[in-house]
Amino acid sequence: MEFDQKNILFHHTGVITDDIESSISFFSKLGYTTSNIYNDKPQQTFVAILNKTNSPMIELVSPMNSNSPAQAGLLGLVLVLIIFVLKLKMQN
């Protein structure tokens, strides 16, 4: 499959936090609504999706334990993940 930069669309921002409840409270004050918090067992994280009309979606990610890949973000190696979705043109 071939694609060019015109087919890359912004999808959402991921924010790593050590306190998902406080982060939900913070974004709620900014007008975001929140999904339920769910467990992403393969990644060993808690995840919540935040939405606000005419704003990008935010994915809050909080490590369950020190083995979670998200733990690296809390150590300063990754502060914010920006996730892109590729929109690939189907070529005939």
What pLDDT score does 12 carry?
A: 83
The answer, as to whether pTM is greater than 0.95, is no
Residue of 56, 53, 62 whose CA lies nearest to 82: 56
What pLDDT score does 91 carry?
A: 40
pLDDT tens track of the chain, all 92 residues?
565 666 667 778 888 888 999 999 999 999 999 999 999 998 899 999 999 999 889 999 999 988 888 877 776 544 444 444 444 444 43
- At position 78, the amino acid (one-letter code) is V
In angstroms, the CA 25 to CA 30 distance is 9
